[in-house]
Structure 1
């Protein structure tokens, strides 16, 4: 038989060129561990392949049987009459490793592994996963999984999955490619899409990503012309550099990406010493990463399969606060929709008086209101068509949303048909039917009009679509993960480092505690602030290490004694030096500007209100670093508490241009000082003319551990 063996040290083929065909369009497949019982998980793929009409060659491997479900069974991959393009392994962990090794020797391009018992089971499982990876690396075989619930392509009948949801006939085909780190999700999305005109170009459960990452899998499919958009379900941001590579390529290809991520936790807080680390928790990091990737993040599971149709109609970099026009035949349904849009800070606009007059002349009269309410009598094809035409042509809206009443279910040929005919306009229209109306949804989807099942998912998708920006991600910027011990720098050294990158800091002088009996000469006038100076003390105020408004040399000596005593009592740390700075003027407001290098997504810059309680308020902006001035200005606008900098009721405005410069400067640590793990200027006092950092904190990799 032709085996085409691959040398052990063969160069690994590039994912993009070698994976696309065998992953989704294999001419031949093999199921290893196939069961004779079609009711079992291991028996389902054979049944699913037959039911879906897979047109290629399917082989079944079971060394303990001569047949499975009436088909010939082979004892091993080597015994097959040919080399399959794609192998699905449904055995135990040890047998799976042996199968991957055999596949690698034979030259199988792709192996998907259902088997569990790998890294999720601790050290012993991790050792098995290492062996699995090594087995594949003997040749050019790439592995999906382990713990993968499979790969599905409804277009060609590929059903390499044990997921029971695919037991129903006619999995809907379409343009969405789904990649999920949760196996059950691929079936759940298909079940929700059935009968609603939403279809899929492929669905992959990525499993443990021991070899192929989710990002690599998606990248391999970008050249498939039938794939028009992507829906990603993420549990973590592992292999974020691969995901970033995909994001950049998807942007170039013009294929939008919707993402739903679990894990809105704050566990990352425990890994940091700064307020910045508390603010840039796991979910804030993910949000910044998705923004830089140009992904549209949805917060509803329903929205994950519904949003791609809208993303294909709304380009990136559209208005962040779109003018949404709502036209309806049911006032109550429209009010529900307006509520959901408002909760997401979306602007609902009523038609102008001039537009209302034109709509009346066109035979679609509506009252002067926030919504264009046609009333129950308006549920007619010509009336709805005229209303939509006038609203789309008016130039007053970026999106028109039609909330459909009972006619959506009973007479979709009326109002729904009129909506379906308006899908080609430059101003997109979307539909939400108040009753459950799958027939209406299918009609709209087939006409290119996005349709939504719930007001929550509709508003979610609209917000995600208009919030999407072009991909700005630099995959190389994510590769600077750090290892080894880290060290906290004292405030003086920290301030000197920040000053070098362009963050304005106060003048200061370090004094030894033992020199307090000598004459004290300062290079600036009283009053001053006295601070404990130690590389063991991250938060001086909490430890009693700060005394303000010291007015004289005698007062300075008393302040030093108080600092030494209080810090020793509260922390056990011996302070042998203090930092003295002039008291700064009050200014307009205080902010925190921070920097943090995340192990998952790379360098981040953070902006929030400043002071010791910065992390108590969920009011911050986080972006991948470095940032430009436009992004820094966007961050200032995003933090609600910084509205005071604009001036309020006659109060002076702060110098936001200088603050923008400071944010950009600190973010440059990402390229100029890669050894810095955390840096924080907090508070930064914003004046009417300029800004100044009153305190500084830097943590970096120890010199001996730097690469």
Structure 2
């Protein structure tokens, strides 16, 4: 029975509406109206204990009274009554139910009681749930409009191959209404609500082998069920079905747990970005971009390695094209000029390509033969990954003539082709959509979608996803303990010695000059507390420094007493970086490489990856860090030991698999990069662990 839900969710033979209203204008009355208008061919049965008929159709007093067991039940009542009906669904063996009701985690003490009861019902098995707070599920291909979303009163919604999974119920209505205006159709849409049981990942995975579903759009508010989402994304990629996502919402969890700079650098949004990238999901920045990106994703394969993408631009309006170029450049896309060979082919065809980065055909480009020939030549040019045609005012007043060259050119072989419509030209947009040609109506959306498509990579298939919750209690290690942890992981730390304040000063096992630092797990940011003295040249200066540290810490931290001092040999490197590790509460371990020292907070130049990373991934992180250029022998300077840095990143990213105490968070800042062949050295360490 548990396998039945995958069929019953979107292709049920019989549905039941529990608590359906007699008033079709009310939220609980809409689903019946929508099912009838859309021509759903299955059986629809109504349950309302207070009426014998609803909207002119027979109603039964309970689910048990129905003449047959429904495949899918839509619960439209308040939370308590919905739970009663869900109990009945469980007893009857209903495969799947969708719950519109709210009044759970968000509803205080009463909601908590409802949530506990819901969890108990679901724990019995044999039934799956969409919701609570789900506005419903829709399959446009069979007329299943099992939803209370008012947008589905819209007639003649276009059907297509896009399946939508959304945390927001209202957004599925916004997608279909905006999609209709652009000529973009959908296969199905599901609002998952609170995701108490079925998640977006599980629901989308259930449609992977449906031939009517060709791609996926996700509207995400959280990554609560990251493992299921990633499993779905891997299978979608294997089937050649692209996935795009718009992610909103920021979590306070990272800030609450963070004791290091890593916590802020690897915040919720940054983690979401790297997680989606690792899943092969194209992340867009705008809701409009989510709607418009899919035709491009269906034509532009994901890259095996990181790429900026090379875009050629042809236009009939230089100013309009320049707006799109600006937006692409801001997002790391390279707009490249046509090569000399390509320009020669254009001239041989009687077309003047000019000399600029953009090929501006001016008014000549409004002629079909000029634009079509230009597009054919540019789509075959090896210097491009993608071609963008910018169309001016003619797209509004003569849409068929304006976009026909692009429609015909796109039908032939060559690089993917997209169109940016400079004027408001909905008719032209619909013509392009019907022909499957990607079209953009705003420069910002154009830049957003093109960047998302070009930067999309094949998913990382061998990456373990460990999002297991850590222990409720964790503890911060002091710097000496953190060094022991780092040394055990294979990282080189600066020579150091722990001194007890008030004890005679011993002979140091390393040479001066040294640095003295307060050693206290309660003071992770020692400089802010006045707990660091640099450049100490001899024993006398060291004694003075220890005394000074104690006085400043007591003054700045309300009398806090310093009992231990860490003395460390001063070392110089070619430059410094930050290396961070953190367990994200939703996706598991992540590793951060960033500008180090005081530059961490000033520049926020950082690269994030899911952990662990391999050596190739570590070198890629280094290449993407802007401040790492100083280690490349810039302007004759010595080169840094980037091989040692890459090995350190690999070792540090593996902290999640260390034996003993579970590492929740760790950071080296700064990590000195020494000259080539001399390695790296950790100068300051911080870690938070749980368990033994």
TM-score (structure 1 length as normaliser)? 0.94
8 Å CA contact 1:101–1:138 kept in 2: the answer is no
More moved, 587-596 vs 550-559: 550-559
Q: Could you tell me which residue of structure 2 aligns to residue 9 of structure 1? A: none
**Secondary structure of the equivalent of 2:352?**
coil
Aligned match of 1:694 in 677, 683, 689?
A: 683
The CA distance in 2 between the partners of 1:139 and 1:495, in whole Å, is 48
1:30 aligns with 2:16: yes
Distance 1:473 1:564, change over 3 A: farther
Aligned match of 1:311 in 293, 297, 305?
A: 297
Distance 1:399 1:158, change over 3 A: same
8 Å CA contact 1:101–1:136 kept in 2: the answer is no
The CA distance in 2 between the partners of 1:497 and 1:511, in whole Å, is 19
8 Å CA contact 2:467–2:586 kept in 1: the answer is no
8 Å CA contact 2:22–2:54 kept in 1: the answer is yes
The CA distance in 2 between the partners of 1:657 and 1:139, in whole Å, is 52
Aligned match of 1:618 in 588, 601, 604?
A: 604
Aligned match of 2:32 in 42, 46, 66?
A: 46
The CA distance in 1 between the partners of 2:101 and 2:468, in whole Å, is 33
Q: Could you tell me which residue of structure 2 aligns to residue 633 of structure 1? A: 619
Within 5 Å, which residues of 2 pair with 1:475-494?
A: 477-494=465-482
1:336 aligns with 2:323: yes
The CA distance in 1 between the partners of 2:234 and 2:658, in whole Å, is 24
The CA distance in 2 between the partners of 1:484 and 1:421, in whole Å, is 61
Deviation at 1:217, TM superposition (A): 1.2
Q: Could you tell me which residue of structure 2 aligns to residue 403 of structure 1? A: 390
The CA distance in 2 between the partners of 1:472 and 1:672, in whole Å, is 22
Q: Could you tell me which residue of structure 2 aligns to residue 5 of structure 1? A: none
Within 5 Å, which residues of 2 pair with 1:193-208?
A: 193-208=179-194
**1:575-595 deviation per Cα after TM superposition (whole angstroms, max 9, x unaligned):** 22222111102x211110010
1:100 aligns with 2:82: no
Q: Could you tell me which residue of structure 2 aligns to residue 236 of structure 1? A: 222
Q: Could you tell me which residue of structure 2 aligns to residue 564 of structure 1? A: 550
Distance 1:620 1:232, change over 3 A: same
Q: Could you tell me which residue of structure 1 aligns to residue 652 of structure 2? A: 666
**1:192-217 deviation per Cα after TM superposition (whole angstroms, max 9, x unaligned):** 11042311111000101111112211
More moved, 280-289 vs 121-130: 121-130
**Secondary structure of the equivalent of 1:78?**
coil
8 Å CA contact 1:195–1:442 kept in 2: the answer is yes
Q: Could you tell me which residue of structure 2 aligns to residue 132 of structure 1? A: 118
**Secondary structure of the equivalent of 2:562?**
coil
Q: Could you tell me which residue of structure 2 aligns to residue 430 of structure 1? A: 418
The CA distance in 2 between the partners of 1:474 and 1:69, in whole Å, is 54
The CA distance in 2 between the partners of 1:65 and 1:480, in whole Å, is 48
Deviation at 1:311, TM superposition (A): 1.2
Give the aligned length: 686
Aligned match of 1:91 in 77, 100, 109?
A: 77
Deviation at 1:264, TM superposition (A): 4.5
Distance 1:267 1:617, change over 3 A: farther
Q: Could you tell me which residue of structure 1 aligns to residue 362 of structure 2? A: 375
**Secondary structure of the equivalent of 1:77?**
coil
Deviation at 1:365, TM superposition (A): 2.9
1:113 aligns with 2:113: no
Deviation at 1:416, TM superposition (A): 1.1
Aligned match of 1:352 in 311, 317, 339?
A: 339
Q: Could you tell me which residue of structure 1 aligns to residue 491 of structure 2? A: 503
Distance 1:252 1:670, change over 3 A: farther
**Structure 2 unaligned spans of 5+:** none
8 Å CA contact 1:588–1:686 kept in 2: the answer is yes
Within 5 Å, which residues of 2 pair with 1:438-477?
A: 438-472=426-460, 477=465
CA RMSD for the aligned pairs? 1.8
Distance 1:608 1:415, change over 3 A: same
1:152 aligns with 2:138: yes
Aligned match of 1:326 in 291, 313, 318?
A: 313
Deviation at 1:600, TM superposition (A): 1.4
The CA distance in 2 between the partners of 1:616 and 1:95, in whole Å, is 55
8 Å CA contact 1:181–1:206 kept in 2: the answer is yes
Distance 1:483 1:426, change over 3 A: farther
The CA distance in 2 between the partners of 1:194 and 1:85, in whole Å, is 30
The CA distance in 2 between the partners of 1:264 and 1:208, in whole Å, is 17
**1:249-301 deviation per Cα after TM superposition (whole angstroms, max 9, x unaligned):** 22222221111111246663232111111211111111121111111100010
Deviation at 1:596, TM superposition (A): 0.6
Distance 1:265 1:369, change over 3 A: farther
Within 5 Å, which residues of 2 pair with 1:73-84?
A: 73-84=59-70
Deviation at 1:476, TM superposition (A): 5.0
Q: Could you tell me which residue of structure 2 aligns to residue 170 of structure 1? A: 156
More moved, 135-144 vs 590-599: 135-144
The CA distance in 2 between the partners of 1:266 and 1:482, in whole Å, is 17
The CA distance in 1 between the partners of 2:670 and 2:319, in whole Å, is 48
Deviation at 1:166, TM superposition (A): 0.6
Distance 1:208 1:264, change over 3 A: closer
**Secondary structure of the equivalent of 1:478?**
coil
8 Å CA contact 1:19–1:220 kept in 2: the answer is no
8 Å CA contact 2:501–2:564 kept in 1: the answer is yes
Deviation at 1:645, TM superposition (A): 2.1
Deviation at 1:597, TM superposition (A): 0.8
**Secondary structure of the equivalent of 2:178?**
helix
The CA distance in 2 between the partners of 1:213 and 1:475, in whole Å, is 21
Q: Could you tell me which residue of structure 1 aligns to residue 501 of structure 2? A: 513
Within 5 Å, which residues of 2 pair with 1:642-661?
A: 642-661=628-647
8 Å CA contact 2:467–2:584 kept in 1: the answer is no
**1:30-83 deviation per Cα after TM superposition (whole angstroms, max 9, x unaligned):** 111111111111111111111111111111111111111111111111111111
**Secondary structure of the equivalent of 1:194?**
helix
More moved, 668-677 vs 273-282: 668-677
TM-score (structure 2 length as normaliser)? 0.96
Q: Could you tell me which residue of structure 2 aligns to residue 589 of structure 1? A: 575
Within 5 Å, which residues of 2 pair with 1:198-347?
A: 198-264=184-250, 268-317=254-303, 320-347=307-334
More moved, 653-662 vs 392-401: 653-662
Distance 1:265 1:701, change over 3 A: closer
Deviation at 1:431, TM superposition (A): 1.0
**1:127-182 deviation per Cα after TM superposition (whole angstroms, max 9, x unaligned):** 20221232244341111011111101111101111111110112221111111111
**1:357-409 deviation per Cα after TM superposition (whole angstroms, max 9, x unaligned):** 31132243332211111212321222221011100112121100011112222
8 Å CA contact 1:510–1:579 kept in 2: the answer is yes
